[in-house]
């Protein structure tokens, strides 16, 4: 089932059906501008991560501000972007299985498609898929720079894979994928510095070893919203893959700067609008948005501009707000904005973005790659 | 976007594209039969909760085994069921907002529709919606029997609401909603007994007070997979609202019986099939199913029949398996079944059920009300 659009352009916020996924367009555009300004003149390009927004509409706004293209995690996401006119797409992890590789290779007829490998068998499988489709695929070697998840070890293992790629008739060696995911959410700047210095050292060493063997890296990619300024100043990374920056979420807002304050570079631009569906208990208001509507894997949502209301618990379809005896109780039927704990999986719960200018609905955009798991 | 069907009937399990949502049909049917057998002769009916399965196909199989109808949490779920031929639907919580109430009332032209209230203003809003649609809606008073979420207090507050409902021209008083959600997951039988005894005492008292005022309760509804046998023996509940029993999940499997063993009444029938997409790190295998594919709000999934593999962490699109140095490492490309920590939100991540008989695909059923948030 596709969800019905919860609003129409011109409506006021209180008229929107809930739960609904709102974008504050002013904040969103400011975030895109801030990122473009931060990268301007650095020589590092943005390849924004579409795992966050799942929308060609948003991808094109990022590209219009200088992004070289988009990252995705899944072939289904690459399809939606390519079909929506995005010309340069990197699948920033491994794709395994003949059926998925055939779909990926087919996309290379209409867009520049790159993908990561961390296993020699995958190089062969990719070469075969590209040959069958009559295309050439870009391939990056993923190296593990701290997450201990995917990727070969930096150094000789990566060079060996690069040689295999370069020797394949239907592939081109496109560089290194070196993303340190867990570093994004380290709260203290010193922790992030330490983690990313180790990552950039390993990446630099690998780039140099590749160069000694005659392999240049057109792409050295990685970094996210939490650390991208560190990767930029390293001089090693050519592309950063930040995604969440366009929306921000409650979890990223807990990252601190050197003075102990939230980093504050980007604004909260994404909200789940919810309605008070029960106010029968003292000190409690129940919202119609539980964890089927707002992801709680990175903590509970916050109530926007109502810090006295605490979203204390999410069940499947209910969110339980609690508040002190002296606070003004939310009214039955009142609509409140929630700041999601984690923007990416929250976006994936909705078929529609409702774009707001102030209190008025300006536009509806489809979350076109929602549910793109495969 | 609707997800592409990940399989076709006749395929073998290893040919299914991943991530995919699998039903072991033998286990699933055994679960339906077990529930029907447990309720047979008790005088308590099953009104199975469709928030779990979101599927008219499954609803009809439950009804064929004696279920009186279905519960849902959302109007969108009620629509999908009614449009799919389900004749008796209870929205087992409050519905707030004129647009939603108009949709709900419209459904009463093709099915028996009931809904809960815990506020006098809602009685008036429901009556107006029913009048506009030219229908009569069944209305249950929700009482709080321990969850401290929705519902008025048992006793006089509930009687006052029942009077309002009975006095409304387009509503009929249908009884009490008395669900103790948090009791479902109490691990020890003594804990569940204690919680449900308090709930049934409060419910019985309210039923008696209603009767003294001349109000009979055609429906006294509540109970879930964790406690339903307690509500049945209480003699107070006329309908139980279990949902998860048809699939089970890793969390419910942690409930213990009096001998300290898992209750074991129902079998694991729901799985997420995932592929090993990276095996580059020693002691680690990365699956293509993270928390966008398998819900982690009630804990990590288990790897089916591979207890030596621990699903140690979920990121958006990756599941990280870890295992000891002496274990057989999963191979790149190998497909593994995961038992979800929580079945309801996991189902909501997929558009298709893949029904399995042993290792072979028997059928595909749509998760028709997936994403039915409104």
pLDDT at B100 over 80: yes
Residues A371 and A339 sit within 8 Å (Cβ to Cβ): no
Inter-chain touch A99–B292, beta carbons under 8 Å: no
Residues of A within 8 A of B181 (CB-CB) are 315
DSSP3 helix / strand / coil % (chain A, rounded to 5): 30, 25, 45
Q: How large a percentage of chain A has pLDDT more than 90?
A: 99
For residue B124, the chain A residues in CB contact (below 8 A) are none
Phi, psi of A104, rounded to the nearest 5 degrees: -65, -45
Q: Helices B56-64 and B25-39 sit at what angle, rounded to 10 degrees?
A: 40
Interface confidence (ipTM) of the complex: 0.96
Environment class of B65 (CB within 10 Å of its CB; exposed 0-12, middle 13-18, buried 19+): middle
Examine domains B25-246 and B268-349 and report if their fold is the same.
no
> Mean pLDDT, to the nearest integer, of A21-34?
98
Whether residues A374 and B3 touch (CB distance < 8 A) is answered with yes
Q: What is the pLDDT of residue B322?
A: 98
Q: Show residues of chain B in contact with A289, CB under 8 Å.
A: 373
Question: Is the per-residue pLDDT at B166 higher than 80?
Answer: yes
H helix or E strand, kind and range, residue A36 = helix A25-39
Residue of A nearest to B148 (CA): A281
Nearest CB to B284; choose among A148, A315, A369: A148
Give residue-wise pLDDT tens across range B168-185.
999 999 999 999 999 999
Inter-CA distances, A288 with A192, A357, B251, Å: 37, 24, 24
- Which residues between 228 and 257 in chain B have a beta carbon less than 8 angstroms from any beta carbon of chain A? none
What is the maximal distance between C-alpha atoms in chain A? 72
| C-alpha distance from A141 to closest chain B C-alpha (Å) | 12
Residues of B in Cβ contact (< 8 Å) with A288: 96
- Do A373 and B73 make contact, defined as CB atoms within 8 angstroms? no
Q: CB–CB of B280/A144 below 8 Å?
A: yes
pLDDT of residue A373: 97
When scoring B74, B122, B290, B317 by the number of chain A Cβ atoms within 10 A, the one with the most, hence best to mutate, is B317
- DSSP, res A4: P
A4 contact residues in B (CB cutoff 8 A): 374
The answer to whether the Cβ–Cβ distance between A151 and B293 falls below 8 Å is no
Q: Answer for the pair B13, B343: CB distance below 8 angstroms, yes or no.
A: no
Name the token pair of A268.
């909260």
As a three-state string, the secondary structure of chain B is CCCCCCCCCCCEHHHCCCCEEEEEHHHHHHHHHHHHHHHCCCCCEEEEEHHHHCCHHHHHHHHHCCCCEEEECCHHHHHHHHHCCCCEEEEEEECCCHHHHHHHHHHCCCCEEEEEECCHHHHHHHHHHHHHHCCCEEEEEEECCCCCCCCECCCHHHHHHHHHHHCCCCEEEEEEECCCCHHHHCCCHHHHHHHHHHHHHHHHHHHHHHHHCCCCCCEEEECCCCCHHHHHHHCCCCEECCCHHHCCCCCHHHCECCCCCECCCCCCCEEEEEEEEECCCCCEEEECCCCCCCCCCCCCCEECCCCCCEEEEECCCCEEEECCCCCCCCCCCCEEEEECCCHHHHHCCCCEEEEEECCEEEEEEECCCCCCCC
Assess whether pLDDT exceeds 90 at residue B2. Answer: no
Q: Do B291 and A99 touch (CB under 8 A)?
A: no
The class level of CATH for B25-246 reads alpha beta
Residue B151 dihedral angles phi and psi, to the nearest 5°: 105, 140
pLDDT of residue B202: 98
Report pLDDT for A147.
Answer: 87
Q: pLDDT tens digits for B274-318? A: 999 999 999 999 999 999 999 999 999 999 999 999 999 999 999
Question: B54's torsion region: left (phi>0), alpha (psi -120 to 50) or beta?
Answer: left
Class in CATH terms, A25-250: alpha beta
Interface probe, candidates B74, B94, B280, B284, chain A, greatest A C-beta count within 10 A: B280
CA distance B63 to chain A (A): 23
Q: Does B281 sit within 8 Å of A149, measured CB to CB? A: yes
- Point out which residues pair with A311 in neighbouring strands: A321
| Mutation choice for A interface testing from B370, B373, B374 by most A CBs within 10 A | B373
Which residues of chain A neighbour B17 with C-beta distances below 8 Å? 97, 99-100, 374
Take residue B124 and report the two structure tokens written for it.
């008036």
Contact between residue A221 and residue A140 where contact means Cβ atoms under 8 Å apart: yes
At residue A289 the predicted structure's pLDDT band, cuts being 50, 70 and 90, is very high
| Residue B282 CB neighbour total at 10 angstroms | 9
Q: Which residues of chain A neighbour B350 with C-beta distances below 8 Å?
A: 371, 373
C-beta atoms of A332 and B19 within 8 A? no
The least confident of A228-232, B134-138, B146-150 is: B146-150
**B156 reaches A (C-beta below 8 A):** no
Helix (H) or strand (E) holding A45: strand A45-49
pLDDT of residue B42: 97
Ranges of each domain in chain A? 25-250, 268-349
pTM here is 0.97
**A329 in contact with B, Cβ within 8 Å:** no
pLDDT digits (tens, 9 = 90+) for B71-87: 999 999 999 999 999 99
Any CB–CB contact under 8 A between A276 and chain B?
Answer: yes
* Contact between A115 and A137 (Cβ < 8 Å): yes
CB distance from B351 to chain A under 8 Å?
yes
What are the Cα distances from residue A316, in Å, to A279, B52, B301?
18, 10, 17
With an 8 Å Cβ cutoff, is A292 touching chain B? yes
* DSSP 8-state code for residue A12: B
Query: Which long-range CB contacts under 8 A does A59-68 form with residues at least 24 apart?
Result: A59/A84, A59/A86, A60/A84, A60/A85, A60/A86, A61/A29, A61/A32, A62/A32, A62/A246, A65/A32, A65/A33, A65/A35, A65/A36, A66/A36, A66/A39, A66/A40, A68/A239
pLDDT at residue B132 greater than cutoff 90: yes
Other beta carbons within 10 Å of A28: 24
Beta bridge partners of A278: A286
- Per the prediction, chain B carries an average pLDDT of 97
Q: How far apart are CA A121 and CA A127, in angstroms?
A: 10
Q: Write out chain B residues lying below 8 Å of A348, CB-based.
A: 292
The nearest CA of chain A is from the CA of B41 a distance in Å of 32
**pLDDT for residue B147 is more than 90:** no
Residue A1 has a pLDDT of 67
- Selection from B274, B328, B324 nearest residue B300 by Cα: B274
Q: Is the peptide bond between A19 and the residue preceding it cis, with omega within 30 degrees of 0?
A: yes
- Window A:23-52, CB contacts with B under 8 Å: 51
Q: Which residue of A has its CA nearest to B143?
A: A280
Tell me how close the Cα of A41 comes to any Cα of chain B, in angstroms: 32
Tell me the shortest Cα–Cα distance from A151 to chain B, in angstroms. Answer: 6
| Cross-chain Cβ contact B292/A348 below 8 Å | yes
Digit-coded pLDDT (tens) for B186-231: 999 999 999 999 999 999 999 999 999 999 999 999 999 999 999 9
Compute the nearest-CA separation of B117 from chain A (Å): 9
Q: Which residues of A touch B296 (CB under 8 A)?
A: 297
The 3-state DSSP class for residue A337 equals strand
Res A2 pLDDT > 90? no
The SS3 of residue A18 is coil
Which residue matches tokens 């209190």? Answer: A359
Of residues B1, B121, B316, nearest to A345 (C-beta): B316
Residue of B nearest to A73 (CA): B317
User: Quick one: CATH architecture of A268-349?
Assistant: Beta Barrel (2.40)
In A, residues 49-78, which contact B (CB 8 Å cutoff)? 51, 73-74, 76
């Amino acid at each position: 089932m596709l969800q019905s659009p919860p609003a129409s352009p011109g409506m006021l916020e209180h008229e929107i059906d809930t739960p609904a996924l709102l974008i504050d367009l002013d904040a969103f555009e400011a975030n895109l501008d801030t990122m473009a300004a931060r990268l301007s003149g650095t020589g590092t390009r943005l390849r924004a991560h579409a795992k966050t927004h799942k929308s060609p509409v948003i991808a094109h706004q990022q590209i219009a501000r200088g992004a070289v293209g988009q990252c995705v995690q899944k072939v289904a996401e690459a399809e939606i972007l390519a079909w929506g006119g995005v010309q340069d797409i990197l699948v920033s992890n491994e794709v395994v299985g003949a059926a998925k590789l055939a779909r990926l290779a087919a996309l290379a007829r209409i867009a520049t498609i790159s993908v990561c490998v961390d296993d020699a068998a995958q190089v062969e499988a990719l070469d075969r898929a590209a040959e069958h489709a009559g295309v050439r695929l870009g391939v990056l070697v993923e190296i593990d720079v701290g997450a201990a998840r995917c990727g070969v070890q930096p150094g000789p293992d990566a060079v060996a894979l690069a040689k295999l790629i370069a020797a394949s008739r239907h592939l081109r060696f496109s560089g290194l994928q070196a993303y340190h995911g867990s570093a994004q959410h380290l709260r203290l700047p010193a922790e992030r510095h330490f983690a990313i210095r180790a990552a950039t050292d390993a990446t630099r060493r690998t780039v140099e070893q590749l160069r000694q063997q005659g392999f240049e890296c057109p792409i050295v990619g990685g970094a996210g919203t939490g650390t991208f300024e560190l990767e930029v100043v390293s001089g090693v990374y050519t592309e950063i893959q930040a995604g969440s920056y366009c929306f921000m979420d409650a979890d990223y807002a807990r990252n601190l700067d050197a003075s102990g304050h939230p980093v504050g570079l980007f604004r909260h631009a994404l909200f789940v609008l919810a309605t008070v569906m029960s106010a029968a208990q003292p000190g409690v208001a129940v919202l119609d948005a539980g964890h089927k509507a707002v992801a709680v894997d990175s903590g509970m949502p916050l109530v926007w501009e109502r810090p006295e209301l605490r979203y204390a618990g999410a069940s499947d379809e209910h969110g339980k707000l609690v508040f002190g005896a002296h606070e003004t109780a939310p009214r039955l039927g009142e609509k409140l904005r929630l700041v999601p704990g984690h923007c990416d999986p929250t976006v994936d719960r909705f078929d529609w973005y409702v774009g707001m200018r102030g209190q008025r609905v300006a536009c509806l955009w489809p979350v076109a790659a929602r549910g793109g798991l495969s």
